[in-house]
Structure formats: structure tokens, C-alpha cells
A and B are shown apart, each in its own frame.
Chain A
């Protein structure tokens, strides 16, 4: 209970809380509020500073971050290792593409191009797929679950490449969902900006919404149940957490996030084929969560940006390292370096900084908190 009119926080005492509301607040300190507001203003202003090409990449980063937050909820918060994220991304992507597709086209399409319809639908269908997988998750633990979800990726890839009426078939593909809001095309070059500028703003705002929703979920009863299951599932069961129920919720929410991310991901590039949803995609998302910092929302976002921007950096690297080739048929080329970096970064982060990028930030913060003393 807060007494009205009385200050609940003391200046210079960030750890002192006099009410539950202040302890559970999302942005509990002034520094955090200022930093988040500053970041947001900066991010919204970026389209005036950067070229369209970079903005398109950043839009992809935002979408990847939505997917990574979803995986972070099930793997980072609830501790259920899922290698099947690519499958749920695919479910979302195909749901959205089918709903908004051309009814007279080569592939299944229902012609409902409104984003307010296909985005929630993609999340819903993917979430249902997650609920279907959850019975396996509630029976299995740890590495058994990892392998089963890995099997899901293979089965999904087979189904999607065979079901060419929906997906266009392996190697051919189909157009992605249409970005349109009640008859208004969202991402089209107009007087208020170019396509990529609008795309970036849209994805940034969506990311903001999804991230706030996830952070809210994480601090609620459900989120506390997730962390209890992750830390010790037997203990969680003993204190009254319904394991089957909360594992199902974790999978459903995570898959719904993946579904939305999958639906949005290919609207940026416009075209996709079933080969994209391979095990490597799942590994990339696992890498985003673990490199960013498992069990944190901001970590998942940072990891998604890091992993999505990595190919761009390796391409820049080519200017500095003369023996690297940009041609895929020459050895060594930038694509190989990129894939090796995924693997090596995973290993290095897990060995030296298991808390990921978020952990690095915590180290920096703690250093300056105590500066000029070492602790």
C-alpha cells in the first residue's frame, strides 16, 4: 500500500522499496526511466540519420528481437530448451502469408491483407502449435526436450517443402504477407518517408509493444512461476506451481511470439521459401538468447541485434582482411567466417560470460557504480 501524497522512494536509495508496486515497477529508478526514454527517442530519430539500406537491416533486427524475446521466455525464463523455434516461425510466416495472399495466385491465399488480422492470426496459430507440442514438454526434461524439438524442425521442414500448395515448394517459395492497415499501405514510399523508414518505425513500435508485454508477463505471477520452474522444477511443484500448466503457457506464449516474428520477418524482404526454416535458424535464435543474456528481455533484444548485424560486420571485415573472399564459391569466404562466428561466439560467451551481453553491461555498470574503488 502506498500512502497518497507520500514519496515512496528515497533519493540515493535505489534498493529501498516501501511498497510492492514500487518493487515490481518495470522502470523502477529514475536512471532507468531516463535511459529508456533517451534510447527510444534516439531509435525513433534514426531514420533521419541513416541510409535506407541500414534501416532495412535494423527493421530486420527489431523483428528478430521479437522472436528472440519469445525464445527467451521459454528458454531463458522457464528453462525449457527449445531447438524448435524455426518451426514456430514457419507456422506464423505461412499463416500470415496465406491469409493475406492473393486469392487468384499460384499458392493458397485468402486476400485479407489487413495487418490487424494476419498478425494476431499468425500469433494465435503458432501459439496453438505450441500448445500441441507442450504435452511432450511436460513429460520430458532438459536434453530430451532439446532433441525432440530438434525433430520438430525436421518434420516441419518436410511438411512445408512437400505442401507446395501453401508454401510454393522447396526452392521456389511464395510472397510474404502484405503490409496494409485498413486499406492503407503501411510501407510505401510517400511524402512522409521512404518504404524503409516506415518499415523501421513500424517494426520498432511493434518491438516496443511486444517487449513491454513480455516484461510485464515476466514480473507477474506467471513469470515468477516460470523462473521457479527453471531454477528447480521439483521445488516449484512442491510449493504449488502447476508444472504442466505453466510449461504449456510458456510454450504457447513463446510460439505466439515466434509466429508474429515469422509473419513480420519476410515482409521486409518480400519473399521466402521453406528452406529458410532450417536447424541453423533455430541455432541463430538460441545464439541470440544466450549471447544476449538468458532470462532478460533487454538481453534478448541486444542479442538479436548483435546476431542480425553480424553478417554486415563480417562483410565490412572483408575490407580489412585481404584473403577473405566475397564470392560464395571461394575459400575462405565471408559466409564461412559468419557461420564460424556464430559457433565460436556461442562457445566463448558460454565459457567466459554466461550472462551474455547483459552480463557485460552489468560488469560495466558495477565498475562505474563503485568508481574509483574496485569494489
Chain B
């Protein structure tokens, strides 16, 4: 029972990282109808920036600065590589972001080099015990969960109560109508990429907390792809629920995979993809996604 509860809590911790990444994907998708395969590169860039900044300004200073810088990078990518492609097939734009991802990741990997780089987080692998139950919980997972909650509440408030949030919702709902009402769709595109870049940087930091930043970190960001498919490409709550669900299932698989040795080691790494295939066979548009209506 303790083992189950512990892996559940661990899953919520890693799941909140996925949720942050998935939110970035979904925000970009809602605004521009494009899946940005460049998110892994932004996540890696954010985490590497934190490792460089944590020394001079400390962890708490480094995270927001790295998030803003990565958001700026995302903004630059949007202006240079994605904006010229407005009106072209979504597939072409997705492949462009794939190209951007490959190129940016090589540059960022160059900054990692052969050293072991740490984000300098205050938690490491220390645990806290939930009072009265004896369940151990890693501090970094608790921190990730808290930070994600704060960010999500902030984001939802932004979309719900600000003028720009309203503009973004309008543009996501009907781009032309929003344009006709005076919404600057270009600004909406830019802001959505900016937000996604910042979220990816924070996610990267928490993914690397307690471990080190290396070139393989980007694979964590790819796990956000099954998450968004699971939750539905255009659903923000779907991204959060999907992220937590995938994180939990992955950790549960990791805890119990020794009971099925024929699946091989590390089967938890591919469990999100298997889950995605199973869900898609039943619900092709994810759990919360809107069913595509075809008009001729």
C-alpha cells in the first residue's frame, strides 16, 4: 500500500512536468493549429540556461530569468521560421518546427558538453514523510506539483480575466472573426509561442531537479506528445489531466514492471506511447478534444 501511494505521488510529480510541457503544446496548437516539435529544444535550452545562471543569481533567480530568455528564443523562432508559413499546410509548419528542434538542440548540447551540469535546485533527492502514514515523498516532486499548480491557476486566470486572454480565446475559436473584431492575431501567435517557451523552460528545470542536465533530457519533452493526444490537442484541462495521468501510469509501471519481466527493462519509458495507442483506438480525438467536424 505504501509502495502504491509512493509511486502515485511520484507520478503526480513527474506528471506535473508533463502537464507544463503539454500546456505549451496545446497553447500553440489552439492559437496557430500547429504542433510545435520545437518544444523539446526549448525545454533543454531552459534547463541548460538555469545551470549557467544558478551560480551567479541563485536557483530562484535563475528559473524566472531562464524562463524569460527561453520564451524570447521561442518568440524569435516564431518570427523567423513559423510566421512566414501562415496559411500553409499545418504539416509543413510542423516539419519546420522539427527542423528547428534538431538544429537548436545541437547548439544547446554544445553548451552541455561533457560536464555533468546541475540546475542547483535546493531539494536534491531529499524526502519528506507525510505525517501519520509513513509515506515518503520526494521534495522535488512536491515542489514541481506546487509550482505547476501556481502556474496553471495563473494561466487560467489570465485566459479568463484579462483582455489579452480573451483575445487569445477569441482567436483560437475563430481566427477570422477575431481579426475582424480588431484582435491582433499576430500578437496572439507571438504570445502563445512566448508562453510555451517559458513553460517549457520551467518544466525542464523541474525535470532536471535532483538529477543532471544531459542531452537525453529532451526525450522527457517528447512524452508530452502522448499526453496531448491523450487529453485532446485543443483542450487545456485535457493537457493537465493527461499529464498527471501519464506521469502516474509511468511511475506505476516503473514500480510494478518487475512482475512482468518478459516486457523487458525500462518498459515504463514507452508506457505513455502504448497508453496513447490504446486510447486512440477508442477515442480518436483524445479524452477531452473536440471532435473534428468536416464541412465540404
Count class of interface residues, chain B: 35 or more
The reply to whether A158 and B266 contact each other, CB–CB distance below 8 Å, is yes
B81 to chain A, nearest CB (A): 5
Who on chain A is nearest to B111 by CB?
A331
The verdict on B152 contacting chain A, using a C-beta distance below 8 Å, is no
Set B95, B100, B276: member contacting A151, Cβ < 8 A: B276
> Inside 8 A of B296's CB, which chain A residues have their CB?
234-235, 238
Please give the distance in Å from B217's CB to the nearest CB on chain A.
Answer: 15
A368 to B114, CA, bound (A): 52
Contact of B91 with A143 in the complex, beta carbons under 8 Å = yes
Q: Is the CB of B270 within 8 A of A286?
A: no
A71 within 8 A of B: no
Which residues in window 138-186 of A have CB below 8 A to B? 139-144, 146-148, 150-152, 154-155, 158-159, 161-163
Which of A136, A152, A280 is in CB contact (< 8 Å) with B281?
Answer: A136
Tell me which residues from 6 to 40 in chain B have a Cβ below 8 Å from any Cβ of chain A.
34-35
Shortest CB distance B29–A (Å): 8
User: A47 within 8 Å of B by Cβ?
Assistant: no
Distance in Å: Cβ of B266 to nearest Cβ of chain A: 7
| CB under 8 Å from chain B, chain A span 304-360 | 329, 331-332, 336, 339-340, 342-347, 350-351, 354
Q: How many residues of A are in contact with the other chain, CB < 8 A?
A: 45
A59 within 8 A of B: no
A290 in the interface, Cβ–Cβ < 8 Å? yes
Selecting from B102-110, B163-171, B235-243, the interface stretch reads B102-110
Going nearest first, the 3 A-B pairs with the smallest beta carbon separation are A162-B264, A343-B103, A346-B99
Question: Which residues of A pack against B, CB within 8 Å?
Answer: 81, 136, 139-144, 146-148, 150-152, 154-155, 158-159, 161-163, 234-235, 238, 279-280, 283, 286-287, 290, 329, 331-332, 336, 339-340, 342-347, 350-351, 354
User: Which B residues are closer than 8 A to A by beta carbons?
Assistant: 34-35, 81, 84-85, 88, 90-92, 94-96, 98-104, 106-107, 109-110, 113-114, 222, 225-226, 228-229, 233, 263-267, 269-270, 273-274, 276-277, 280-281, 284-285, 292, 294, 296
> Can you name 8 A-B residue pairings with CB atoms under 8 Å?
A143-B35, A147-B276, A155-B277, A158-B270, A347-B103, A350-B95, A350-B96, A351-B85
Q: A155-B277, A162-B265 are in contact. List 13 more A-B contacts (CB 8 A).
A: A136-B277, A136-B280, A143-B35, A143-B233, A144-B229, A146-B94, A151-B225, A154-B222, A162-B264, A235-B296, A286-B98, A343-B100, A343-B101
